[in-house]
Structure 1
């Protein structure tokens, strides 16, 4: 899994950089834990502690989080190119330190919104940077595996923390005990990032020096030196694979924003206990996280496009099952399918971006993609809240199910296969 190329003691490949790669997987698990502390508790806190009965008002914390994270993702890619990866990672953890404390002490919903702005900054800087650093380290051959491991660590931590906070909330109450986990995650993340993580920008320069053009000439117009504006327009609109990935990422997180903000409320309205809601809130990211250990690596062999198309269609079907269901068993099956569909899509989209973007501007392209993807949190929360207020919870889920399926069909029509080893006929 390693490259024979070496410059100044640096080598590309998973095996050659295993210690740092493993450390970054652990750091990203802590990043995911920071997000997981909210998944079960905060939607219930909006209703029971702050009396927010309108769905749109209750979902403002996800809108604040998603909008901030999306913008920060874009900035993170540029900052990583300008100042290096490690400083951006450390600053992200410093910003995350106050989040659990604000959630514990919040006397009004405005404080919760402020905490989620800080959480968006934290997630945008830290998660984006760990993605970029892992892509730097592994080189082109095992990008799917690297992204699978990265996203699996993050979302398994989301699942474990959602389950743990559900248990703590059922036993001790919605505050403060569930948020003690966030304090520990932030302290550990900052310590490891400051003391143990090493800079990886040199690995990207090494790959750029040995970068070879795609045999079919498809990327010949994507030169090594592109302006920020050009990177934005290519990733967002012009380049077929990059733009198809960006819209699919946005719709994926649109339905995740729905799941985060409205699923606990829907399940509670059906009479499920807090503990059972916690199980459902954990089951979805658990399947999502575990599945990525398989799907990312398989996309290195079979290509990216089939996983992305199939995953979006499976998510649409799973959301339809949530909308139609009314028992714990049906909902458990639905969230398992939703997690499986998301696992098919999530690491594969990142790997596709890495396939197409030149190493010189790849960090910026990842930032643009993640701008669109995590903007889906804000769009999804706002749209789902408005639809739920106007037409009911289930109608909101049906609409998002249809949008998700349509996104999969758009990928099928617009995206080409991006993995160079698959398109060239070379075995994986």
Structure 2
């Protein structure tokens, strides 16, 4: 088979005499990107315990809706940044977008430390959302680029596990720091260190991966069942948005499930610490509960991502959404540390079943030529769930109480799982999947 002509490298990319697809073949860069995404998660984790309590205790916010404005700001800005990240990374390359995301992250902990009013906290979260959208989206796309189709679920499991394990660890550590030294500035000094290290690694050590996606595109093989025949390489950004959001059954099912998943995460982020604090629980113990959910979520993805490569995507997603619904019901019904710990662990397990699997399903369906844009659209909907969740749960909590708001979100999560069960098809390929891998492996750029 003739070797394909290498495409022009992205600006700032390092060229390599040989490109190959696969986790083992790209182990060094993949591992580096896992570390970078852990730092991205740490930037988010610095807020999970402290900021909801900061609004209540230092800025006197009593209405739940007002207290959740920082999550609305974060969710909206991250959603838009996800979409922009996908488009820009297809046009200019992945690495410049990643570095830009870290540059935006640097002021965030400083604004949180110096904030004289809640408006500063909201502004910090707008920047945090932009940074998270650019950095996390790009690390997702870069890992998909490197591994090809064969171990996509495992790759997403490793990526999300690193990010959310860091969220959990940072949430716990900041809770302890806040208990010992106060809500500011100590907890946010961690974020400052994470931003500096993430910027340095991304600028110096990370390599461009867009050529790997082009290599995979050259060996792309259609599904044996005829699905996706109407989805060809030349799609405009508007067509990618329409297919991912509404038209293509698997892509649109994943988008709505992602939105609802982060809707309930926005609820957990904004209202769980307030619910726990209402019982007189210490900040340190609240930090443990705030960390337990993303810890199980993060570490569980090491298993669930790989399982989705063996068992398939659809029913793992359905089961995960239903498990999350049950866990939210247990939070609403509980009133002790032990009961909430069990519920938090169960919520993390359900989320672990869903999170990497949804991303893998997007990678299964989207053509490599427009996959980054499709990931960006999916993450636009998914992280828009933060804003929807904060607004919905805040309004319901103000009108009917925190527990009623949690019950309502539990019902919505269960309904989302049923939508996936009815509308989504299995995206993991059969025999043509292995054929595609052989073709891509043969098309090595020398």
TM-score range, shorter chain: over 0.9
Matched residues in 1 for 2:19 and 2:225: separation?
A: 30
Is residue 203 of structure 1 aligned with residue 212 of structure 2? yes
* SS at structure 2 position matched to 1:19: helix
Which of 210, 213, 234 is the matching residue for 2:243?
A: 234
Counterparts in 2 of 1:187-226, with a 5 A limit?
Answer: 187-226=196-235
1:367-406 matches, cutoff 5 A:
367-406=376-415
Structure 1: which 4+ aligned runs deviate by more than 2 Å?
4-8, 421-426
Instruction: Return closer, same or farther for 1:407/1:422 CA change in 2, 3 Å cut-off.
Output: farther
TM-score after normalising by structure 1: 0.97
Structure 2 segments unaligned to the other structure (5+ residues)? 7-16, 438-446
CA distance, structure 2, for counterparts of residue 94 and residue 55 of structure 1: 32
* Structure 1 counterpart of 2:136, from 115, 122, 127: 127
C-alpha distance in 1 between matches for 2:66 and 2:88: 33
Deviations 1:105-162 (A, max 9, x none): 0000000000000000000000000000000000000000000000000000000000
TM-superposed CA distance for 1:270, in Å, is: 1.5
Show the counterpart of 1:418: 427
> 1-side partners of 2:139 and 2:388: how far apart?
25
Q: 1:266-320: CA deviations, max 9, x gaps?
A: 0001121111100000000000000000000010001001110000000000000
Q: Distance in 2 between matches of 1:425 and 1:123?
A: 34
Measured at CA, do residues 353 and 67 of structure 1 come closer, stay the same or move farther in structure 2, by a change above 3 Å?
Answer: same
Determine the structure 2 residue equivalent to 1:137.
146
Instruction: Provide the residue aligned with 2:27 in structure 1.
Output: 18
Structure 1 residues 328, 6: CA separation in 2 closer, same or farther (over 3 Å shift)?
A: farther
Which moves more between the two structures, 180-189 or 4-13?
4-13
Write the distance in 2 (CA, Å) between the matches of 1:236 and 1:206: 27
Alignment counterpart, residue 44 of structure 2, candidates 28, 35, 45: 35
Q: How much has 1:386 moved relative to structure 2?
A: 0.3
**2: CA distance, partners of 1:307 / 1:5:** 37
Distance 1:191 1:202 in 2: 23
2: CA distance between counterparts of 1:123 and 1:398? 29
CA RMSD, Structure 1 to Structure 2 (Å): 1.5
* Partner Cα separation in structure 2 for residue 5 and residue 257 of structure 1: 46
Match of 1:156 in 2: 165
- Structure-1 separation of matches of 2:212 and 2:49: 39
Alpha carbons of structure 1 residues 422 and 389: separation in structure 2 relative to 1, 3 Å: farther
What residue is the counterpart of 2:442 in the other structure? none
For the pair 1:44 / 2:53, whether they are aligned, the reply is yes
CA distance in 2, matches of 1:137, 1:89: 16
Determine if contact 1:6/1:12 at 8 Å carries over to the other structure. no
* Stretches of structure 1 lacking an aligned partner (at least 5 in a row): none
Aligned twin of 1:68: 77
Q: What is the total number of aligned residue pairs between the two structures?
A: 424
Separation in structure 2 between the aligned mates of residue 198 and residue 26 of structure 1, nearest angstrom: 14
- Which digits, 9 at most, give the CA deviation of each residue in 1:388-415, with x for residues without a partner? 0000000000000000000000100000
Matched with 2:373 is 364
Please report how far the alpha carbon of residue 421 of structure 1 lies from its aligned counterpart in structure 2 after TM superposition. Answer: 3.0
Contact 2:325 2:410 in 1 (8 A): yes
Give the one of 301, 306, 310 matched to 1:301: 310
Q: What is the TM-score normalised by the length of structure 2?
A: 0.93
The alignment status of 1:244 with 2:253, answered yes or no, reads yes
Correspondence 1:166 to 2:166: no
